[in-house]
């Protein structure tokens, strides 16, 4: 951790729960770092067409993903629509960034991250979610591993988007 990079490296000799949650938090911090110091317009900047990816779209998408897996699947809450998506506009998390309120969207993502932490706190990794996914039971272990994978994939996109915005590269 440095002043420019506030991330904390995941510990190398801890139990499975601590390992998974540390890697997930590391990747959450990586997305925040990729967005740090940019203007609203820079966060909305789209990649090369036909892709509609933007850093803000990734943040909005991850808010939806956090909510779906931890609130919807793990806790079994009913989620009829998302913060951004609707049945009519399933990709609004990515597509609706042009007039989006950046401050509100980052606050929504951070709130969903905190809600996810609370949802998983103290639960054994073998805890089965209250709502199946595609008819199959899902454990907290699977959700945490999937979330690490989801963030890691999108952080690769964020690397390229940040380089497009201002030439910055790095971890």
Instruction: Name all domains of the chain by residue range, CATH numbers in brackets.
Output: 16-166 (1.20.120.450)
**pTM of the predicted structure, to 2 decimals:** 0.94
Residue 50: count of CB within 10 angstroms of its CB: 6
**pLDDT tens-digit readout, 38-90:** 999 999 999 887 888 999 999 999 999 999 999 999 999 998 889 998 889 99
pLDDT band at 1, cuts 50/70/90?
very low
């Amino acid at each position: 951790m440095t002043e420019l990079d506030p991330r904390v490296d995941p510990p190398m000799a801890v139990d499975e729960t601590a390992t998974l949650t540390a890697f997930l938090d590391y990747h959450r911090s990586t997305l925040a770092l990729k967005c740090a110091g940019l203007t609203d317009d820079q966060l909305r900047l789209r990649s090369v067409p036909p892709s509609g990816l933007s850093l803000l779209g990734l943040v909005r998408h991850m808010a939806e993903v956090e909510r779906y897996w931890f609130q919807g699947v793990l806790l079994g809450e009913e989620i009829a629509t998302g913060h951004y998506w609707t049945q009519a506009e399933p990709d609004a998390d990515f597509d609706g960034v042009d007039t989006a309120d950046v401050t509100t969207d980052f606050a929504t993502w951070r709130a969903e991250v905190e809600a996810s932490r609370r949802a998983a706190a103290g639960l054994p990794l073998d805890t089965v979610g209250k709502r199946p996914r595609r008819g199959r039971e899902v454990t907290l272990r699977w959700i945490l591993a999937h979330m690490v994978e989801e963030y890691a994939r999108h952080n690769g996109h964020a690397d390229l988007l940040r380089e497009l915005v201002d030439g910055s590269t790095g971890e």
